[in-house]
Chain A
Amino acid sequence: MTAASDLDGFRSEVSEWVQSNFPSALKGFDLGADSPSDKGVSGEFRAWRQALADKGWGTPTWPKEYGGAGRSDPEAKVIRQEIAKAGAFNPIPPMTGMGVTMVGPTILEYGTDEQKAKHLPGIASGEVRWCLGLSEPNAGSDLASLSTKAVDEGDAFILNGQKIWTSGAHISQWCGAVVRTDPKAKKRDGISFVMLPMDQKGVETRLIKLISGASPFCETFFNEARADKSDLLGDLNDGWSVVKRLLQHERQSQTSAPAAVKIDQEPLQEQAKRYVGTLEDGTLADPDLRLRVVENLMDAEAHKLTVSRITAEAKGQVKVSAAASILKNSMTRVAQTKAELTLEMMGNQGIGWEGEQFSEEELRSVRDWLMGKAMSIYGGSAEIQNNIISKNILGLPETTQQG
């Protein structure tokens, strides 16, 4: 009971602080798909980012000494809720690329004190953007077959090779990359995780244009690029365990981020009624579409309930619930199906590419639908997720057929 009333006290503290610090000019600002940085935004935006950073509330669960606020998960949730309630937003995670969601938590776990002090404060304040060099043209789902080489040259590693799907590489200041440090070892044993600055002669990036027309990803070329030895994360040749942890953080950020869902978004069934109309009894005029919409809404609810069940189960337990393994595929299915249904209900208005015959909502739905196809590919494809579930969770043997 004490804990709950403490939390209530903290809630009103947060609420008051947000009310008095969030600039009203920023209300309704769309963080969206843009990747804001301090350069491209208003003074109010910068001030709000800095105010949050000063409180440590951009990354509330991180230790104070590294720019966080040393808060518990329930307190962090309160901060998220109160920020959303005030119509405000936390710009720090998107401003850091992969920094807050993946790199930071992994440094917290694997980093030395020096590495934490060097890298975490810049992420916690939203000032340093990070990208990740994981996939390569010939190492996608089979990531461990990567071939970017890192050669020991005394106080640094010299990198040669190519990475692909490096989100935001062209605007990032730092990169975490998996590289091959021992070409003779078995493929998972000769890999290390290094961190290197992007602003150097040996690093080049090229944007990749996607089917949605957007270019959020790059190809990144390392040509005699340099990573300081002091920026080796984890042990030499033990990069595979760092990557596995990193990918767990990625899956977590992809599946348990209700903040990504806009609170004032029109429910799917209302959108359907608007485009399709209703029959006399109030049901949707297209009964086939109606059933598929309700199934999607039920699946969304089942997913949401599963996230809360896992949270409830996790209380006081160290072991992560086995159910957590299904979240990425479940989230993906719900989102992709919803995007398909949205276009379908829009009909002739759901096929526009650009131009004033189509509303902004309609054009965005098309782009989102296309972009959403990536969800079942990145962060371990749907098939890789099922491999993980069948082997790690269900204990089925390694596959005997090469797949």
Chain B
Amino acid sequence: MAALTEEQTLIKDQATSWASAEAPVSKFRAMRNEGTDIGFAKPTWSAMVEMGWTGILVPEEYGGSDLGYLTFGLVLEELGKQLAASPLFASAYVGATALLLAGTEAQKSSHLPRIVDGTEIVTLAVDEGPRHAPARTALEAKSEGGKHVLTGSKTLVLEGMSATHFLVVVRSTGKVGEAQGLSLFIVPADAMGLSRRAMKTMDSRGYAELNFDGVEVSDADLMGPAGQAGEVLDEILDRARAGIGAEMLGVGSQAFAMTLDYLKTRKQFGAVIGSFQALGHRAAELFAAMELARSCGEAALQEIDAQSNSVAKACSLSKAKVGDFLHTMSNQLIQIHGGIGMTDEFDAGLYLKRARVLATLYGNQSYHRDRYARLLGF
């Protein structure tokens, strides 16, 4: 764990005790069993708003506390341990980040206070195909005299069923596959011609597929200059990746704790199975991978807070290394638990499923290995 300030320690402790008391994995399971389109329980979300977590990234002038990315990461990690579901990440982390980095003053003062008080859920809509590839954006904006008409579709939009606004990545100029020519629009969920459909994913969260059938927006809805959102989009996505990295650390460290506990209690051949060297060594390898991953995950958040010039590298490192650890850890969670790990009644499966969804969000490990190499010039 990084060296924390007193305030960060307080918030982390608050998140730990709140999540285990008020939003334990059993609550997530109950929500899943009921089956909802929005993918979270409303009281859980309201409690998070009340605790002020929605304002962690938001400057005080817009009603937030401006405590930074590492602080938010601590909360995401603790929530990850319990698989606590809410729009906190999509709206108060990614949505707020996008507004802060790309929004106009009018957009910021209109939306940020409402993100903080929970009346708006603002989420980023970027992916369109099976792979995360912002340059392959095809959703088209036809612009004329201050009016823009959006046509196309988006997939895997986080909290897409509960969102009040979408921050939509669109193509203003150029061809699919080009990094240039992208714009970012803020579009209300009830805009004419915009429809959404729930996507039932294995992690039981609230994703949506969006269809834009000639949705009309104006210059006032444009975030930054048209056709030039590529660079700021990268910055937004990097922050989102580091946030996912923090949640992955939480999911992974909980999976490790469950596995270690099982190694110490399950008996076979007259001994606890953790006394078998093959399993002791496997646990040691997993522990090493976890510690290395933690360093990468925390460093990315710290680099963002420090506004360093190596944020992109640090965030790709986090997404890839924490992703690799969680991949192995979630598989071993099932393997070491044996038969019980295969049953739906046991929680292991919930962690495995969440792990795979987190891996695919904003680029999987192979995406980020490739990106890291490009950033290093090979």
Our pick among B264, B295, B373 for the contact of A294 (Cβ within 8 Å) is: B373
| B2 interfacial by beta-carbon distance below 8 Å | yes
- Chain B neighbourhood of A301, CB < 8 A: 296, 317
Q: How large is the interface on A (under 10, 10 to 19, 20 to 34, 35 or more residues)?
A: 35 or more
- Contacting A at CB under 8 A, from B264-313, are 264, 271-272, 274-277, 280-281, 283-285, 287-288, 291-296, 298-299
A302 contacts B281, C-beta separation under 8 Å: no
- Contacting B at CB under 8 A, from A359-398, are 383, 385-387, 389-391, 393-398
- Chain B neighbourhood of A396, CB < 8 A: 260, 263-264, 274-275, 280, 283
Closest to A314 in B: B3
- Chain A neighbourhood of B280, CB < 8 A: 386-387, 390-391, 394, 396, 399
A278 contacts B378, C-beta separation under 8 Å: yes
B373 contacts A283, C-beta separation under 8 Å: yes
| B1 interfacial by beta-carbon distance below 8 Å | yes
A290 contacts B277, C-beta separation under 8 Å: no
A400 contacts B275, C-beta separation under 8 Å: yes
Closest to A315 in B: B3
CA distance A399 to B292 in the complex (A): 26
Our pick among B272, B284, B299, B376 for the contact of A394 (Cβ within 8 Å) is: B284
B288 contacts A329, C-beta separation under 8 Å: yes
- Chain A neighbourhood of B275, CB < 8 A: 396-401
| B348 interfacial by beta-carbon distance below 8 Å | no
Closest to A329 in B: B288
Partner-contacting stretch, out of A44-52, A103-111, A207-215, A304-312:
A304-312
A298 contacts B369, C-beta separation under 8 Å: yes
CA distance A270 to B376 in the complex (A): 9
Residues of B contacting A: mostly: helix
B281 contacts A295, C-beta separation under 8 Å: no
Chain B: residues with Cβ within 8 Å of the partner, total of: 38
- Chain B neighbourhood of A326, CB < 8 A: 287-288, 291-292
Closest to A302 in B: B292
B374 contacts A283, C-beta separation under 8 Å: yes
CA distance A330 to B325 in the complex (A): 14
B295 contacts A309, C-beta separation under 8 Å: yes
| B62 interfacial by beta-carbon distance below 8 Å | no
- Chain A neighbourhood of B284, CB < 8 A: 385-387, 389-390, 393-394
A269 contacts B295, C-beta separation under 8 Å: no
A281-317 vs B, CB cutoff 8 Å, 1 = contact: the mask equals 0111000001101110111011101101100110100
- Chain B neighbourhood of A303, CB < 8 A: 292
CA distance A389 to B263 in the complex (A): 14
| A355 interfacial by beta-carbon distance below 8 Å | no
A313 contacts B276, C-beta separation under 8 Å: no
| B367 interfacial by beta-carbon distance below 8 Å | no
Known: A326-B291, A386-B281, A397-B275. A269 touches B299 (CB 8 A): no
Extra pairs beyond A305-B296, A308-B295 (17, CB < 8 Å): A267-B376, A269-B373, A269-B378, A282-B377, A290-B378, A294-B369, A301-B317, A305-B299, A312-B3, A313-B1, A323-B291, A326-B291, A386-B280, A389-B288, A390-B280, A394-B280, A397-B272
Q: List 21 A-B contacts (CB under 8 A).
A: A269-B377, A269-B378, A270-B378, A284-B373, A291-B369, A294-B370, A294-B376, A299-B292, A301-B296, A302-B321, A306-B291, A323-B294, A326-B288, A386-B281, A387-B281, A389-B283, A389-B288, A390-B284, A394-B283, A396-B275, A399-B276
Give the top 9 A-B pairs by smallest Cβ distance, nearest first: A390-B280, A389-B284, A305-B295, A326-B288, A386-B284, A396-B274, A306-B295, A323-B291, A294-B373
